[in-house]
Chain A
Amino acid sequence: MAETMTLVKEAEKTALLSSETKVEMLRKMWLIRAFEEKAEQLYALGKVHGTMHLSIGQEASAVGAVAALRPDDYMLSTHRGHGHCLAKGADPRRTMAEFLGKVTGYCRGRGGSMHIADVGSGNLGANGVVAGGVPIAVGVGLSIQMQRMERIVLCFFGDGAAHEGAFHESLNLASLWRLPVIFLCENNQYAMSLATERGLAVSAIAQHAASYAMPGTQVDGNDVIAVFTATSAAAERARAGGGPSLIEALTYRWRGHSKSDKQLYRSREELEAWKAKDPIPRFAQSLEREDLLDTEKAGHVEAEARAAIEEAVRFAEESEEPPLAEILQGVYA
């Protein structure tokens, strides 16, 4: 039976993290927010083309889940992956450079917004296909298990991925083989325009875990500590050889699916209601209540993050385009 709505007392949750770590988590959330707001501006200015998928409003699930990992644990991400990438430790400058298609980007301008990998930080790649990374994460877990590595793998995906057969195949195999995988679903309520309950007969995604004999936990995805706590429990289970877990983080994307979204499927009132649950000030205020921050210092954290993104943009804009002569290189190893 799936363990839905795990409730953990505030004191228990926060005891796991040092005050420095908590402030760092807040900084990461601001870094992601600032990155994405800047990305949106650059797009509006015509400096970026193609498309992009923004996770503004979802920063808590990226930061909270990754905070439960060790630095050498692996992670796979999605088309909406800037936040995961930065949370895992990517340099904002090289991330921005990839976004702008520059030679200094993580993939030398070959990947772009939807396809950023930073293997050095354990980020095995964002994935442009819905549920595309989920089977791959199962294999990463298999490799960890067969080689007896002291690692686990965290696999992000959205609610739309739960529509896909690959999701179900993957949970089944990971459970059969007791692989050290954390399946982390960021349920941002809509698969493009399709509301979760219009796309899934069982719309509480965590409940699907019961079909695959693994724990399923639904958490408030706008509460970074709640996400951290649930992911920590899943990580502990995975490291102990207990197998995979499914976590559903309930959150909301403030922007459209991509740049072409007219957002005909949702109301302004709904959006405003979720904006009132903004995960960043919410976490900042909780840190202030704990006396880890005052309002002034919280402002500094935000300002530092925004400055880092300004520097990232400068770095990316000053970087060269990839040489055309390289185009055919590196198709094969």
Chain B
Amino acid sequence: MATMTFREAISQALREEMYRDERVFIMGEEVGKWGGTYAVTRGFLDEFGEKRVRDTPIAESVIVGAAAGAAIVGLRPVAELMTINFAFLAMDQIVNHVAKLHYMFNGQITVPIVIRVVGGGGRQLGATHSQSPEVVFAHFPGLKVVAPGTPADAKGLLKAAIRDDDPVFFVEHATLYSVRGEVPEDDDYLVPIGVSDVKRQGKDVTIVSYSKMLQVALEAANRLAEEGIEAEVIDLRTLRPLDTRAIVESVQKTNRLVVVEEGWRAYGVGAEVASRVTELAFDHLDAPVRRVAQAEVPLPYNRRLEQMALPQVADVIRAVKDVMYIK
């Protein structure tokens, strides 16, 4: 184990996989000379050369499309889009092609790419640069959508994503990059895609979350513990495929569920999780499922407005108390 930041964990995963498999290469916006917009690939250009660390024009459609094309005939590209907001410029490639080719062509083609994107709000970048729309991508069968919340998971999931034969949409929350944590240094340390993780044990209420909101949920759980409420915090880690069983098992124990996501409430992760729990464990619920999510507005720039719109620790505590019928 070593202590490192989320950024260093991502960087280490990329470096290890590039040394392990010469088919792995990086292409995208600012990955080379700039060293990554969030400094994840700093030094990579010198270390691996411009053949494997490829700066591209600001052309998201061909970044993703070319990564897919390279993948279907033998390589394993990691395509980086500067932020998740710009993934919408590559939407045709991501959802109409990358997600569908394997099934539609009956397995003649596989698309082993990783699309790395930076998501999330809270940095006063305004409405077009602050979104958390990973559920949009999780809607499509054929894609896998991963969003780690700790440095260790970031490393293990990214390595697993690169080794995966399916396309993986990999979301890194911008405000997590400086979060520190213990990270295994094993070259073959992998975290399986599609498996959630109980980050905190508890008996009174289940809080389901992922990515940056995992940190918010954990902080809320710590404060609730001071009041004698023991929350179980489940980190989804992967949005598609969703690890439903772990959530259901937890709810069967706690009988209460709060889902915390940074994206909008409408049609969100909370809606999906609540629906599945209702279908599979309705009789175990002692209260309606509560969703904590972003206010239904394009995220405003002003600091106070922005913080008001984004889910906060206090919002999670309030939701937990609601499902426990505590005033």
Q: Please determine whether chains A and B interact with each other in the same assembly.
A: yes
Q: Are A135 and B66 in contact (CB under 8 A)?
A: yes
Bound-complex Cα distance A183 to B69 (A): 15
A124 / chain B contacts, CB cutoff of 8 Å? 72-73, 109
Contacts known (A127-B97, A132-B96, A333-B166); A140 close to B69, Cβ less than 8 A: yes
Q: Are A146 and B104 in contact (CB under 8 A)?
A: no
* Residue B57, interface by CB 8 Å: yes
Q: Are A110 and B104 in contact (CB under 8 A)?
A: yes
Q: Are B108 and A169 in contact (CB under 8 A)?
A: no
Q: Are B109 and A332 in contact (CB under 8 A)?
A: no
Q: Are A166 and B69 in contact (CB under 8 A)?
A: no
Q: Are A139 and B65 in contact (CB under 8 A)?
A: yes
- Chain A minimum-CB-distance residue to B194: A332
Bound-complex Cα distance A108 to B56 (A): 37
Q: Are B66 and A142 in contact (CB under 8 A)?
A: yes
For the complex formed, measure the closest distance between the CB of B189 and the CB atoms of chain A, giving whole angstroms: 23
Bound-complex Cα distance A170 to B64 (A): 11
* Residue B83, interface by CB 8 Å: no
* Residue B298, interface by CB 8 Å: no
Interface residues of B in 61-107 (CB under 8 A from A): 61-62, 64-75, 77, 92-93, 96-97, 101-107
- Chain A minimum-CB-distance residue to B56: A173
Q: Are A146 and B72 in contact (CB under 8 A)?
A: no
A140 / chain B contacts, CB cutoff of 8 Å? 69-70, 72-73
Contacts known (A119-B108, A135-B66, A140-B70); A147 close to B92, Cβ less than 8 A: no
Contacts known (A135-B62, A331-B102, A333-B166); A143 close to B75, Cβ less than 8 A: yes
Q: Are B96 and A134 in contact (CB under 8 A)?
A: no
A138 / chain B contacts, CB cutoff of 8 Å? 62, 65-66, 69
B69 / chain A contacts, CB cutoff of 8 Å? 135-143
Number of A-B contacts (CB under 8 A): 138
* Residue A22, interface by CB 8 Å: no
Question: Which of B73, B74, B75 has most chain A Cβ within 10 Å?
Answer: B73
* Residue A319, interface by CB 8 Å: no
Bound-complex Cα distance A173 to B65 (A): 11
* Residue A323, interface by CB 8 Å: no
- 1/0 per residue, CB under 8 A from A, across B139-168: the answer is 001101000000000000000000001100
Q: Are B106 and A108 in contact (CB under 8 A)?
A: yes
A141 / chain B contacts, CB cutoff of 8 Å? 69
Bound-complex Cα distance A2 to B238 (A): 49
Q: Are A110 and B73 in contact (CB under 8 A)?
A: no
Question: Which of B25, B54, B62 has most chain A Cβ within 10 Å?
Answer: B62
Q: Are B107 and A139 in contact (CB under 8 A)?
A: no
Number of residues on chain B facing chain A (CB within 8 A):
41
A170 / chain B contacts, CB cutoff of 8 Å? 61-62, 65-66
A139 / chain B contacts, CB cutoff of 8 Å? 65-72, 77
B144 / chain A contacts, CB cutoff of 8 Å? 332
- 1/0 per residue, CB under 8 A from A, across B97-132: the answer is 100011111111110100000000000000000000
Task: Select which of B56, B61, B65, B75 is within 8 A of A146 by beta carbon.
Answer: B75
Q: Are A135 and B65 in contact (CB under 8 A)?
A: yes
Number of residues on chain A facing chain B (CB within 8 A):
41
A136 / chain B contacts, CB cutoff of 8 Å? 65-66, 68-69, 72, 93, 97
Q: Are A111 and B104 in contact (CB under 8 A)?
A: yes
* Residue A99, interface by CB 8 Å: no
B74 / chain A contacts, CB cutoff of 8 Å? 143, 147
* Residue B59, interface by CB 8 Å: yes
- Chain A minimum-CB-distance residue to B69: A139
Bound-complex Cα distance A144 to B93 (A): 20
Q: Are B105 and A107 in contact (CB under 8 A)?
A: yes
Bound-complex Cα distance A173 to B25 (A): 17
Q: Are A110 and B142 in contact (CB under 8 A)?
A: no
Bound-complex Cα distance A136 to B112 (A): 13
Bound-complex Cα distance A172 to B58 (A): 11
Contacts known (A136-B97, A332-B166); A172 close to B65, Cβ less than 8 A: no
Q: Are B59 and A330 in contact (CB under 8 A)?
A: no
Bound-complex Cα distance A127 to B51 (A): 29
For the complex formed, measure the closest distance between the CB of A328 and the CB atoms of chain B, giving whole angstroms: 9
B61 / chain A contacts, CB cutoff of 8 Å? 135, 165-166, 169-170
Q: Are A125 and B109 in contact (CB under 8 A)?
A: yes
Q: Are A111 and B106 in contact (CB under 8 A)?
A: yes
Bound-complex Cα distance A144 to B74 (A): 9
- 1/0 per residue, CB under 8 A from B, across A130-173: the answer is 00101111111111101100000000000000000110011011
For the complex formed, measure the closest distance between the CB of B290 and the CB atoms of chain A, giving whole angstroms: 32
* Residue A129, interface by CB 8 Å: yes
Task: Select which of B62, B75, B107, B165 is within 8 A of A166 by beta carbon.
Answer: B62
Q: Are B71 and A115 in contact (CB under 8 A)?
A: no
* Residue A74, interface by CB 8 Å: yes
Contacts known (A146-B75, A166-B62); A106 close to B92, Cβ less than 8 A: no
State the B residues within 8 Å of A (CB): 25, 51, 54, 56-57, 59, 61-62, 64-75, 77, 92-93, 96-97, 101-110, 112, 141-142, 144, 165-166
Q: List 27 A-B contacts (CB under 8 A).
A: A74-B73, A106-B108, A110-B103, A110-B105, A111-B105, A117-B108, A117-B109, A125-B105, A135-B61, A135-B68, A136-B68, A139-B67, A139-B68, A139-B69, A140-B69, A143-B71, A143-B72, A147-B75, A165-B61, A166-B93, A169-B62, A170-B61, A170-B65, A330-B103, A331-B102, A332-B144, A332-B166
